[in-house]
Structure 1
Amino acid sequence: MAKYMILIYGDAQQWDAMTAEQWKAHDAGHAAFWAEAGSRVLDGRQLENAPTATSLRADAVGQIHTTDGPFLETKEGLGGYYLLEAADLDEVLALARLLPELNYTHSGIEIRPVVDRG
């Protein structure tokens, strides 16, 4: 079994503008995902909006600098993740298609295999 990270991106302003009813439907979509994925979900969390992030970068001489917010200017910020264990990418793709973020034009999903060096 391999591990895969599902990264969920979206526009924080769009998420903030959602009504209570829209959030209820959105949460139901995630509940359906969890129910279908079952024990394949190793972890999953919603993250605070990108403006609350703190970024660290090293300069040319190795000094570390801290900045507020994400380093890159982007409209879609990382909003959450799931860590799954699955037989292959096709299994993860089938599950990821259940996520409600695919119902919005301002959000998307990225899937990456987790490196296993051991």
Structure 2
Amino acid sequence: MKTYLVLVREPDGRMVIPPAEDMQQHQLAMKSWIEGLVANGYWLSGQALMLSGRVVRPTADDPQVTDGPYRVDELEIVGGYMLLQAASLDDVTALMKTCPVLDTDGFVEIRETM
């Protein structure tokens, strides 16, 4: 089995705040979907990420540090990550095609770990 990092990218909920009921339904769908990954032996770990954080970028002098894991002009955020185990990239891709984040205009990035 190989290990894959899946970055969950979602629309920035601070730009357009969805109705509370929609958010709750999405959270329940994600929980149920993840329970399926666990039950089928794919899940290793994962977490949702807080909106706060810092970004450190190189500059000519000292590195530039800004608050937040985003730029103002970006409309999406990395909302979380998953570590999954699977036989191949194709297997993980098939799993991700059923991820509820796709229903909320989000997308995922899949990367094999070394």
Match status 1:70 vs 2:108: no
AA of the residue aligned to 1:40: Y
Calculate the TM-score normalised by the size of structure 1.
0.78
Is the 8 Å Cα contact of residues 2 and 85 (structure 1) preserved in structure 2?
A: yes
Structure 2 counterpart of 1:111: 110
Does the CA-based 8 Å contact 1:58-1:64 persist in structure 2? yes
Following superposition, the deviation at residue 35 of structure 1 comes to 2.2
RMSD in angstroms over aligned alpha carbons? 2.2
Specify the code of the residue in structure 2 equivalent to 1:46. A
- Aligned CA distance change for structure 1 residues 110 and 29 (closer, same or farther; 3 Å): same
- The share of aligned pairs that are identical, in percent, is 30
Deviation at 1:84, TM superposition (A): 0.6
Q: In structure 1, what is the Cα distance between the partners aligned to 2:100 and 2:46? A: 14
State the TM-score, normalizing by the size of structure 2.
0.81
Unpaired stretches in structure 1, ≥5 consecutive residues: none
Sort the Cα spacing of 1:15 and 1:24 in 2 relative to 1 into closer, same or farther, 3 A.
Answer: farther
Q: SS at the partner of 2:23?
A: helix
1:14, distance to aligned residue in structure 2 (A): 6.2
Alpha carbons 2:70, 2:77 under 8 Å: kept:
no
Aligned residue runs from structure 1 range 1-118, under 5 A? 1-13=1-13, 17-38=17-38, 39-49=41-51, 52-61=52-61, 63-70=62-69, 72=71, 73-105=73-105, 107-114=106-113, 116=114
SS state of the match for residue 82, structure 1? strand
* Larger proportion of helix: 1
- Distance (Å, rounded) in 2 between the aligned partners of 1:104 and 1:15: 14
Alignment length, in residue pairs?
111
